[in-house]
Structures are given as C-alpha cells and as structure tokens.
Amino acid sequence: MADHEQYERYREDSDVPAAIGTQVDAQVGRVAVRLPRSVAEAAAAAWERDETEGPGEESHEQHALRDQAAELALIGLAITQRGRWEGDELVVDLDVESAGAALRASRR
C-alpha cells in the first residue's frame, strides 16, 4: 500500500517540473550557443542523414540511443536553418529543449 502511495506522490510531483518548464519556456525560449566547427558539422550531418528503416523492437538502451540521435538531428536542423559562422565557431540559437538535451547527454 505504501508503495502505491509513494508512486501516486511521484505522479503528482511530476506536475511541478512541468510548471517550471512552462515558466522557463516563457522566459528563455532560445539560448545562443557557440560550437566548434567539427561539432557543428557533425550535428548538421546527423540532420541530413536519411534513416530509412524503422526502429523495430529495441531495448531500453537502444531506445535511449535513438532518442539522443533524434535530439542531435534537431540540433543539426537548427544549425542548418539559423547557424552562422564566426571564424571557426558556429553560433546558433537553440531551443531550450535542445540545449537541455545536449547538457543532459554531456553528464551521462
């Protein structure tokens, strides 16, 4: 019984980060990021890659890897649409979601 109550509390708690996210989105939206050439080009290449096969059945780890690849491709899209070169660095305004996904990936 206590286990059920604990998970119900977690479910209720999940509304709080969502509310915080709404506030962050309203205040930040996009953040300017400077990327070295090699990283920017790799992200753009991920966007341009054509994945023709569906994922099929996959493990949790495979799903997480595919999710990270999708986030990279979205960053690549932003680079191709909004990126501008300043010397050897690319400056791009990333949606806060993409910047957050990249930050989480750096901490794994």
Q: What is the pLDDT of residue 72?
A: 96
29 pLDDT band, cuts 50/70/90, is: confident
For every residue of 16-78, DSSP letters joined together read HHHHHHHHHHHHTSEEEEEEEHHHHHHHHHHHH----S---S--HHHHHHHHHHHHHHHHHHH
pTM for this predicted structure: 0.80
Residues in CB range of 21: below 8 A, 6 or more apart? none
| Residue 26 pLDDT level (bands cut at 50, 70, 90) | confident
| Percent of the chain residues past pLDDT 90, beyond the cut | 56
